[in-house]
Amino acid sequence: MNQECVSNTNVPDAKPVSETDAFTFGKSKAQSGKPVATTIQTATEFFSHKYKMDYPNRGKAIIINNKTFNPKTKLNERTGTDKDATALDNRLSELGFDVDLKNNLTADKIKATLQKAAELDHRDNDCFACAILSHGEDGFIWGIDRMIPINDLMEPFKGNKCLSLAGKPKIFFIQACRGTMFDDGVDMNVSDAKGFMDVEPQFFRQKIPSEADFLIAYSVVPGYYSWRNSTNGSWFVQALSDVLKKHGQTMDLLTMMTHVNQIVGKKFQKQKEKKQIPCVTSMLTKEVYFTSK
């Protein structure tokens, strides 16, 4: 019999480049030299299905709004983006974030801005949020001078690097194209009839994945254009602003993003019936509720 069929041991699909010691969950190796989060949670908070959102502050939010680009890039001005930036500034402020709006940043300044944010002390904050409004391609975002990999911007916030945000939500909203394809949509037949569709234990250490607790909400799926109205702003941010305004303090974040997908996918339509659907990548391990402070 194939040994893999009966084995009860967890093994990687590929051998790591450098192997590390494995510890029993809930225990740690003394003097291991591994990074430890600076925020302490009770066992009840750690195992809750909701993130702890009652720290003294909601947290820092950064909005990067790139409208005009260096001539050598040959990129058009992003008319309507100021409408997006203002809407997100208002919505995030209403949710209690300390919002910092940055306009027309180079790639190096974008990276430096987020690196500086990751180096802040977030121990008294619920979470971190960032919105990037710019031109883009799949996996990249444009500074006003050149492209930068999106992963490079998120790297400083990983749990093993930004220890005061370990175990807390890191939320990124990205309004940018991810390719050059158009979504022509598909016709649906829709009928008029309604369808059916305790006592806390003593302190002990728990290990969490460094990549956990991120949510990245892209305005469009990979490979496609992301649409923006020169007067009203982008489809994605219009929908996001609307949902956050209506449900920001009562609905969990992933459910809100599903509502955003519905609005963008069904309400908006470009000339010649072009469509768009946002894409949410979630490594969240709990539900996010922006309960009022």
Looking at residue 221, what is its pLDDT? 93
List pLDDT tens digits, range 86-141.
Answer: 999 999 999 999 999 999 999 999 999 999 999 999 999 999 999 999 999 999 99
Looking at residue 124, what is its pLDDT? 97
Looking at residue 7, what is its pLDDT? 41
pTM (2 decimals)?
0.82
Looking at residue 271, what is its pLDDT? 61
* 8 A C-beta contact, residue 229 and residue 185: no
Looking at residue 200, what is its pLDDT? 42
Looking at residue 195, what is its pLDDT? 33
Which residues of the chain fall below pLDDT 50? 1-7, 11-12, 14-32, 188-204
* Residues with catalytic function: 135, 177
Q: State the number of CA atoms in the 13 A half-sphere of 267 facing the CB.
A: 14
Alpha-carbon distance of 212 to 191, in angstroms, equals 42
Q: What interhelical angle do 235-247 and 253-267 show, nearest 10?
A: 140
